[in-house]
A and B are shown apart, each in its own frame.
Chain A
Amino acid sequence: MNEAENISSHGRHLLGRRSFLSNNATALSSIALSSLLGTDHLLGSSKEPSRPQIDPKNPFAPRESHHTPKAKNVVVIFCAGAVSQLETWDYKPELIRQDGKPLAGGPPVTFQGPAGNLARPQYEFRQRGETGKWVSDMIPHLAELTDDFAFVHSLTSETNTHGPGENFLSTGFVQDGFPSMGAWLSYALGSENQDLPSFVSLLDPRGIPQASINNWGPGFLPAEFQGTLFNARNPIRHLSSPPSVTQSKDEAARDLLKRMNARHLEHNPLDGSLAARIASYELAAKMQLSVPEISDLSTEPDHIMKMYGADDESNPTKAGFAKNCILARRLLEKGTRFVQLFNGAYASGGRLNWDGHSKLKEQYDVHAEILDQPAAALIKDLKQRGLLEDTLVVWCTEFGRMPMFQKGAQGRDHNPDGFTCWMTGAGVKPGVSHGVTDELGRKAIKDVHPLYDFNATILHLLGLDHERLTFFHNGIERRLTNVEGHVIHEILS
């Protein structure tokens, strides 16, 4: 049946002749939609939806973007726990002046409880580089690079709770169970490298981030587009057989399986799903070679290990994160589409992530040490190898923090009303600071951008129109940006 016939008259009228395929790549064959979609329009956006053609036998084959991309690949440095904008990138001299005073007209109660008085930034700020950008001493290595960064100081989130906040940052929805940005990108673009997963999530050595799989899950996209979890310390699960199985048995098993599946296919040679399973074992076998190879950092020279801080024996967490940063670079070198690099783990009273409610300075001293040198080294290393030409580097966190300390505490509560993330690399205008929060850093007041806009901008740099990248699920044409989102052109080169 022609899919176009399979829609009610109203559906057709409302949406043009778009096809409503089932929620997954069809098992039989890939369906060419372009002819159906060529001239059609998405209601509400006057944009035609683009559904990538997924070949079930080769789901990671590279696919065309909507427009010429500025960036081919992305690494997202994801700081879990809500990094304070006030201790890092958003300099507020007025906050220093009003230190210890109550915030006039401020909320008496914030997320965790009663609000205390305004508190000055806990680190000294100074101007950096050519642009003279004020950045704190908390992150001296990253601060050196700010001439290359494009900051958005006026981001907002829809929630003040970490789990939903990370969901929102990664999926565009506060609820659990929507596809993550990396999954959207793998789905849209496939991968340049057929021996490695297209989307890799490198977990922080301290543990998993708060929204866990929501950050790398496929949601309702086909499962192959989810992030593959590993890091420098923990390899991909089940990458090799248990030690009790010898190599010769492994080979014999793989060989027999291949022959049995091939024989079985003879009964139904046109069944694409059978062929796809055969192909998946071949890709798995390739990964068994390529992943250990890429994870083996022993080939990295000493000066590189030193540059990242991966040799820092006094701080194993920092060294662990630094190794993840090196691994990120190696994956990007090999054409991995989306690398998610977590800094910070789960809820732990701010001990394991950036959730500085009670002892902010004390805890940030520790976290900054882990983040700063390795992350800065990653950017410098990408640059010196020429990889920054087509790699986008994003630094983000789920929301920001209040200018007040919490009552009776030395830390700041959640603030989704104005916080900072930045990007650098391919397609990004260097040295820009876009958007403004009020003089105390409480709320974004100028060029306010919900996180939708930030995500729309990332898709844009990868050649994708966030309004066209859709997937039909439970009655709705779903997008990473829900029904919102505007590209922030001011930070693009």
Chain B
Amino acid sequence: MKRFFINALCLAVLASTPAVAAEPIDFVKDVRPIFEAHCYDCHGGGKQKSGLRLDVKSAALTGGDNHGPDIVPGKPEESPLIQFLLTENEDEMMPPKGARLSAKEIGILTEWVSEGAIWPDGVDLVELEDTSDHWSFKPIRVEEGEHTIDAFIDRALQEKGLKRSPRADKATLLRRLSFDLIGLPPTTGEMDAFLADDSTDAYSAAVERLLASPRYGERWAQHWLDVVRYADTHGFEVNTERKNAWPYRDYVIKAFNANTPWDQFIREQIAGDALGKAEATGFLVTAAALLPGQIGKDEESKRLARQDELGEIVINTGEAFLGLSIGCARCHDHKFDPISARDYYTMQAFFAGVHYGDRPVINPELDTIVDGLRERLRPLERELERYLLRAGEGGKRASLSAKGNIEYFAPVKAAGLRFTVHSTISGNRHQPYIDELEVFNTEGENIALNSKVTSKTGKPEGAIDGVYGNESAWKSSVKGGGSLEMAFENPETINRIFWGRDRTGKYPDRLAETYTFEIKTEGGDWRKIADASDRASFDPKKAKEDLFQLADFAKEDQARARVIIEDRKPLVEELKQYHGGKQLVFAAQSSSPETMHLLNRGDPEQPTDVVAPATLSFLNPVELSLESKDAERREALADWITDPDNPLTARVIVNRIWQWHFGIGLVSTANDFGNLGALPSHPKLLDWLAAEFIESGWSVKDLHRLIVSSEAYQQRHELHAVGLAKDSENRLLWGFPSRRIEAEVIRDSILAVSGTLESKMFGRGYDLFHARGGTGGFKPIESHLKEEGRRRMIYAYKVRMEREAVFGAFDCPDGGQSAPRRSQSTTPIQALNLFNSQFTIDLAAEFSERVRKEVGDDPDEQIQRVWKICYGRSPANEELLDAGYVVREHGLETLSRVIFNSNEFLFLP
């Protein structure tokens, strides 16, 4: 709280204020007119500068953002309100512009405060809205009885004198379902089978087939990634590669495919690291982030950057799960919703232990691959060992390399190991870094991974975490030195140590030059096993040599060693892709929570009260102590969000899913269920769906079934004047709301009909640009002739703020801000891209080739086939004529190019 000093001058003025009247000051008669004349322009119903309003009793006596109460009853000398009227300080003076209050007016106000600032109840001309009295903050309510989607929809239509359109034909329905559920058109086989199936459950069988398809998760994960602004780069000007973002993307795809209950999905994304799903917490750090090098070196910049990164987590959590713009309360109380600035900071405190960064993730599939590679490496290394020079046995060993060095010695039983650095190659100007220290037993297993650090300089855990690279290195805290001591799980016979400064080969600096390795005997003595004394002196030219340098072998063995080293190389290269065996994910890094403060006006330089974690104060708040641990905090928050009694969570996701089926939600503002958000078009339907959803165990697939089996979903798309006149946006669903398919669906569908869509799932994204990050711009790859580039677009490496060169223009979100619903713009740039891009021309040729292969060279046959594949129907006679002319005169490719650009191909029917 800002401190107040009433200066001598002010006191003098106060003291000299004449008693205005013998009668007590009357608020309505004497005080309010003064407020009206001088204050309400900025502190009334229209504006509340500094969060202060003086036209409503409760608000006026509470005060604004900057101080506690501005009016302290009985104490004018402590009341900022009076101080501002008296001060000569231009920054504080009120009113800031125009005439000041007269001495008489100041006198009245001073007297009024002295008398206790009596403000009678019920005299205010305006009432303060209770912003928590809002539909979405009230419990979900369902009326007794049987309900169906169609009954709710029909009731609302009837009220407007409208009715649903008839059921669409089967071909249309299958196309609609297929685009909607898996983001691809049906194949001709699927269409034929569906049309031939006269059974009553043909439709539901098609729904089940699509929901069970792995393509389903690829389609629906994209919707969620839009909301959380997923990208594979860090954003801002340097926009560097966020190498390990994709495990989160894969997690989302898998979660949709596995129909992970939504409450569990939320819990994993907030606190998954405590549940064995660290990759899920990629959710917390999806935002653009300034890297350490991009943040100013001054402390103010660092504090601001930390607040910004925490702010993004609060914003994401609020918007994605609760449909609330909590982020708005960072600088001041929310203007429209009952979220105070304090709420913002107590919510932020749940994440006080979260940092952005890479962390290892458990991945059994990867373990299998890595184990297999290790298995193949082992015999090669065994053989190499036979020829290696042993440390300290008279041979001159290779000079040190930053990429990795071998200490080989006679097998010795050891209970622990000590590595001491005495100097570095930079003449001790820097702290030495060691990215990995591997200690092998005679079985060839790295036992350092399971050892315990017993003494250390800096944080050496990074050297024995199995992760290569600078980011997870042991960074000694001492220039030119440092030591690391570890105890093995059990005493073991060891014979080999690999260590390096950066096994990925990026950094050749900060390398230890002189050092000692000692083992701890079972008796507890320390015994030296290797040091740098028998190494060739350091040569910067050799600082990036690989492990197993030839110089590590005796002359006569070098020829044989060279052969094995060459055999070993490709295996090592492959292994390197897997970070030495562990997959990393860019996700929440958990640490001990920092102390969080309420910040005045959101300014990190103006911390006020210390705040403990607490959920939003108007919604059954849960509070934790200041001492609570990081995991405990995030789990508590997840529990609160996923509590079935939380009125927002189920409504928000049910609405999103409805929106992704129908193009617009029952609440059209999917990220905002607050006072500024839209009201639901069908409130009872929304509540019933939310209740059913919770009842089903938060099953997203059950909700899909419910929605797509409704008659409302299966009706025709037919716009008519009556409907448009009464409900121009078709919010009441008097017809199916058709719309253009999204960027990803267009690209995937073109590949699919051409028969060249790759079905490979998961993993590092493929490239749409020639660069994966950096400042030089992103030159698009024009032709995607390789298989990788023909995977579904969700597997493309997503550069933040850089839209894909052809399809990005079709309203692809850029990963900057949350995109709860895609806009549907129509631009000439889209037309140029889809008509003229190399991609379209390439794929038109390939599609034509497919058609030729299937039906031969007869133009009419070809056209029949094209229509069937792309539109799921036969061409009408005049279409056959039109297209026939073009195919005969200009080739099938020309027709294919037209098809890809046609409205029928590009619209959800």
Interface centre among A110, A160, A245 (most CB of B within 10 A): A245
Complex Cα spacing A377 to B818, Å = 43
* A254 CB to nearest chain B CB (Å): 8
Nearest chain A residue, comparing its CB with the CB of B727 = A1
B740 touching A20, Cβ below 8 Å: no
Partner of B675, one of A14, A212, A221, A228: A14
Complex Cα spacing A161 to B301, Å = 9
A220 touching B325, Cβ below 8 Å: no
Complex Cα spacing A264 to B738, Å = 13
* A109 CB to nearest chain B CB (Å): 5
Partner of B904, one of A31, A43, A260: A260
A316 in contact (CB, < 8 A): no
A177 touching B814, Cβ below 8 Å: yes
Complex Cα spacing A20 to B677, Å = 7
A20 touching B47, Cβ below 8 Å: no
A213 in contact (CB, < 8 A): yes
**Are A161 and B294 CB-contacts (below 8 A) given A27-B824, A257-B902, A273-B826?**
yes
Stretch at the interface among A93-101, A279-287, A301-309, A330-338: A279-287
Residues in A neighbouring B664, C-beta threshold 8 A:
22
A270 touching B820, Cβ below 8 Å: no
A14 touching B336, Cβ below 8 Å: yes
A176 in contact (CB, < 8 A): yes
B359 in contact (CB, < 8 A): no
Stretch at the interface among A232-240, A356-364, A424-432, A437-445: A232-240
Interface centre among A274, A283, A474 (most CB of B within 10 A): A474
**Are A283 and B891 CB-contacts (below 8 A) given A44-B48, A111-B298?**
no
B324 touching A475, Cβ below 8 Å: yes
A292 in contact (CB, < 8 A): no
**Are A28 and B729 CB-contacts (below 8 A) given A13-B129, A20-B678, A347-B775?**
yes
A242 touching B841, Cβ below 8 Å: yes
Nearest chain A residue, comparing its CB with the CB of B823 = A24
Nearest chain A residue, comparing its CB with the CB of B810 = A223
Partner of B898, one of A211, A222, A260: A260
Complex Cα spacing A15 to B45, Å = 11
A28-49 near B? 1/0 per residue, CB < 8 Å: 1101000000000101111000
A56 touching B297, Cβ below 8 Å: no
Complex Cα spacing A163 to B237, Å = 4
B47 touching A26, Cβ below 8 Å: no
Interface centre among A44, A162, A163 (most CB of B within 10 A): A163
A241 touching B882, Cβ below 8 Å: no
Complex Cα spacing A256 to B816, Å = 39
Partner of B296, one of A23, A25, A110, A261: A110
A259 in contact (CB, < 8 A): yes
Complex Cα spacing A15 to B806, Å = 40
A210 touching B237, Cβ below 8 Å: yes
B729 touching A110, Cβ below 8 Å: no
A253 touching B668, Cβ below 8 Å: no
Within 8 A of B (CB), among A257-278: 257, 259-261, 263-265, 268, 270-271, 273-274, 276-278
* A480 CB to nearest chain B CB (Å): 15
Partner of B828, one of A8, A253, A283, A477: A283
A220 touching B817, Cβ below 8 Å: yes
A268 touching B719, Cβ below 8 Å: yes
B114-150 near A? 1/0 per residue, CB < 8 Å: 0000000000000001010111000000000000000
A6 in contact (CB, < 8 A): yes
A287 touching B832, Cβ below 8 Å: yes
A29 touching B724, Cβ below 8 Å: yes
Complex Cα spacing A259 to B878, Å = 10
Nearest chain A residue, comparing its CB with the CB of B45 = A43
Nearest chain B residue, comparing its CB with the CB of A244 = B841
B676 touching A346, Cβ below 8 Å: no
Residues in A neighbouring B825, C-beta threshold 8 A:
24-25, 59, 222-224
Residues in A neighbouring B810, C-beta threshold 8 A:
223
* A63 CB to nearest chain B CB (Å): 16
Partner of A219, one of B336, B668, B816, B826: B816
Partner of B46, one of A5, A10, A41, A271: A41
B384-401 near A? 1/0 per residue, CB < 8 Å: 000000000000000000
A46 touching B46, Cβ below 8 Å: yes
B821 in contact (CB, < 8 A): yes
**Are A160 and B296 CB-contacts (below 8 A) given A111-B301, A223-B811?**
yes
Nearest chain A residue, comparing its CB with the CB of B832 = A238
Interface residues on A, range: 35 or more
**Are A161 and B296 CB-contacts (below 8 A) given A177-B817, A237-B833, A260-B879?**
yes
Partner of A253, one of B160, B830, B890: B890
B803 in contact (CB, < 8 A): yes
* B872 CB to nearest chain A CB (Å): 14
* B676 CB to nearest chain A CB (Å): 5
B881-906 near A? 1/0 per residue, CB < 8 Å: 01100100111011101100111101
Residues in B neighbouring A239, C-beta threshold 8 A:
832, 836
A107 in contact (CB, < 8 A): yes
Residues in A neighbouring B134, C-beta threshold 8 A:
8, 10
* A280 CB to nearest chain B CB (Å): 5
B498 in contact (CB, < 8 A): no
A20 touching B668, Cβ below 8 Å: yes
B836 touching A474, Cβ below 8 Å: no
Nearest chain A residue, comparing its CB with the CB of B899 = A260
Residues in A neighbouring B883, C-beta threshold 8 A:
256
Residues in B neighbouring A346, C-beta threshold 8 A:
237, 775-777
B739 touching A27, Cβ below 8 Å: yes
Complex Cα spacing A107 to B828, Å = 51
B298 touching A210, Cβ below 8 Å: no
Complex Cα spacing A483 to B825, Å = 27
A387 in contact (CB, < 8 A): no
* B852 CB to nearest chain A CB (Å): 17
Partner of A177, one of B238, B721, B806, B815: B815
B47 touching A271, Cβ below 8 Å: no
B335 in contact (CB, < 8 A): yes
Residues in B neighbouring A1, C-beta threshold 8 A:
160, 681, 727, 729, 731-732
Complex Cα spacing A193 to B731, Å = 35
* A405 CB to nearest chain B CB (Å): 16
**Are A238 and B681 CB-contacts (below 8 A) given A14-B676, A111-B298, A256-B883?**
no
**Are A274 and B907 CB-contacts (below 8 A) given A10-B131, A27-B739?**
yes
Residues in A neighbouring B831, C-beta threshold 8 A:
277, 280-281, 283-284
A175 in contact (CB, < 8 A): yes
Residues in A neighbouring B297, C-beta threshold 8 A:
109-113
Residues in B neighbouring A223, C-beta threshold 8 A:
809-811, 823, 825, 827
Residues in A neighbouring B131, C-beta threshold 8 A:
10
A252 in contact (CB, < 8 A): yes
B672 in contact (CB, < 8 A): yes
Partner of A248, one of B674, B728, B890: B890
Residues in B neighbouring A279, C-beta threshold 8 A:
826
10 intermolecular pairs with C-beta atoms under 8 Å apart: A8-B134, A110-B297, A166-B237, A213-B814, A220-B817, A257-B901, A264-B903, A273-B907, A281-B831, A475-B676
* Known pairs A28-B724, A242-B836, A475-B669 / 4 extra A-B pairs, C-beta < 8 Å: A46-B46, A111-B298, A177-B801, A177-B815
Please list the residues of chain B having a beta carbon within 8 angstroms of any beta carbon in chain A.
Answer: 46-48, 129, 131, 133-135, 160, 229, 235-239, 288, 290, 294-299, 301, 319, 324-325, 328, 335-336, 664, 668-669, 671-672, 674-679, 681, 717-721, 724, 727-732, 738-740, 775-777, 780, 800-803, 805-806, 809-811, 814-821, 823-833, 835-838, 841, 878-879, 882-883, 886, 889-891, 893-895, 897-898, 901-904, 906-907
Please list the residues of chain A having a beta carbon within 8 angstroms of any beta carbon in chain B.
Answer: 1, 5-8, 10-11, 13-15, 20-29, 31, 41, 43-46, 56, 59, 107, 109-113, 160-164, 166-167, 175-178, 197, 207-208, 210-214, 217, 219-224, 228, 236-242, 244-245, 248-249, 252-254, 256-257, 259-261, 263-265, 268, 270-271, 273-274, 276-281, 283-284, 286-288, 346-348, 414, 472-477
For the complex of A and B, 3 pairs with smallest distance between CB atoms: A177-B816, A163-B237, A475-B672
